[in-house]
Amino acid sequence: MKFVYVLQIIIFLIPYYFGASFTHINIFYLIILGILVFIIHECLHVIVINKMGDISLTCSGIFFWLNTNAILSKTRFWIFMSLPIIVLSVVPTIISLYVSGNIKSILLFVCWINAIISASDIYNSFLIAIKPKNSIFCRGYFKVNETKKEYPKNISTKDII
């Protein structure tokens, strides 16, 4: 987690390093937009694992994360971790290259807030990518599936843990 905290601090300081600011936009709107980004971020996670297992939102201090007992293939787990980064950071960054004014500032703010929220997702996406191709994931653990199928439908969480 120390790496994630350092990554969050670096992402937080990036606008100040480049001399960017969002001060010309009302702070109240920025707070509301930040809350909406968080809600959309979590909904994108839920969409990926919808109907695959139980989902719960856990809070510790200022950090939130989703817990699930769903058994996910490597591809699906990578999408679970990466979809909010792609939708709320990568796509708005690309769009911001083609717009200007307040729209550009808002898009960059969405990218920035989501990058801070997604620091652990960014780190985990790289960790998932280096796992063997036929891995299956559940509750923070992974197991290499010897049958080399996508993932078994009738496996229990006891087989992984």
What spatial distance separates the first Cα and last Cα of the chain, rounded to whole Å? 22
pLDDT tens for 45-101 read 889 888 887 888 888 777 777 888 888 888 888 998 899 999 999 999 999 999 988
pLDDT tens for 109-148 read 899 899 988 888 888 888 889 988 888 888 778 888 876 5
Average pLDDT for 152-158: 55
Give the model's confidence band at 156: pLDDT under 50 very low, under 70 low, under 90 confident, else very high.
Answer: low
Q: Are 118 and 85 in contact (CB under 8 A)?
A: yes
Q: Are 128 and 81 in contact (CB under 8 A)?
A: yes
pTM for the whole structure: 0.77
Q: Are 70 and 49 in contact (CB under 8 A)?
A: yes
DSSP state of 159: G
List the domain range (segments joined by +) for residue 120: 2-159
Domain count, the chain: 1
